[in-house]
Amino acid sequence: MNIDAPELDRAITVRDAYRAMERFLAAHLARGESSTASLVACAGLRDDGSTGDPAALHDYLDALAAVTSDPGRDFEIVVDDDLADADRRGMEVRVTLPDGSQRWCFFMTPAALASCGDWVPGTEIPMHRGERHMFIVGACTEEIIARVLHEAARDGELLSRTRPLAAPQRLG
């Protein structure tokens, strides 16, 4: 395999690339390699696009797969509200996990935050106490919602950032 292999032709975030690099380096060190010179000899690219160690690209792909494998990839997301109202109110979202259990959260834009909420006592100023299951986004689309929830899943926070859903809940 060389650097032009189709398996390496994919877009990832810089964050995921950095995490993959950390895993790759940890695996390199776990094999007993400790010098920078051995790392460069192993992973450094030659003129033909190959690496010093033919397994290096496979090791990197393994590290990348570990980082980008999404523990919540199989969950289903349903936006219960009309996204056209996203700048006026919260958008409620149901997440169905592979075991069939459902969870709930909501998304707010800055404009929606300004137009709803509890009142600061004695004023007409809205306030929000900041719930763990509230996500604030600059724009609210199905794609943004999915990306945010998948990021929470990747970070191991999907369950802590959503609430169990026994019965439909509506924002007040």
Which is it for strands 91-96 and 76-79: parallel, antiparallel or unpaired? antiparallel
**100: Cβ contacts below 8 Å, ≥ 6 apart:** none
The band of 73, judged by pLDDT with boundaries at 50, 70 and 90, is low
| Cα distance between residue 24 and residue 7, in whole Å | 16
The band of 69, judged by pLDDT with boundaries at 50, 70 and 90, is low
Name the token pair of 106: 């909501």
DSSP state string for 5-73: -GGG-----HHHHHHHHHHHHHHHHHTT---HHHHHHHHPBPTTS-BSSTHHHHHHHHHHHHHH--TTT
What pLDDT does 71 receive? Answer: 47
The band of 169, judged by pLDDT with boundaries at 50, 70 and 90, is low
Q: Is the pTM of this model over 0.85?
A: no
**145: Cβ contacts below 8 Å, ≥ 6 apart:** 77, 79, 91, 93, 107, 135, 137
Residue 137 or residue 37, greater confidence = 137
136 alpha-carbon distance from chain centroid:
15
- pLDDT tens, residue by residue, 26-38: 777 777 776 777 7
